[in-house]
Amino acid sequence: MVSDETVVQTASEAAEGLIFDRIKQSDVKDVDVTVTFEEGILEVDVYVNAPNASRDEEKVANDAALAARAAVDDLFADAEESA
């Protein structure tokens, strides 16, 4: 069984990892990753403000949210395989 805390942490780390993989930390003015997991429902909201970055902030934020969801899917798949 995967704890809610593990789900949230996994999603947050995946989102932040993707953001800082695509945009240098020094170019990021503000970033906010909000993850909730309640009653089996995952919600991920990502905001990136990097006005000097060469990447599209909105695309990076959307991709980070997708990466978070994919990481949680992998987490549950691994847990099922282990059971």
Q: Which CATH number fits domain 4-82: 3.30.300.100, 3.40.640.10, 1.10.10.10, 3.40.50.300?
A: 3.30.300.100
pTM: 0.94
pLDDT in tens, 9-59: 999 999 999 999 999 999 999 999 999 999 999 999 999 999 999 999 999
Distances (CA, A) of 38 to 5, 9, 13, 18, 31: 10, 14, 18, 24, 23
Task: Please report which confidence band the pLDDT of residue 1 belongs to, taking 50, 70 and 90 as the band edges.
Answer: confident
Measure the CA–CA gap between 13 and 20, rounded to whole angstroms: 11
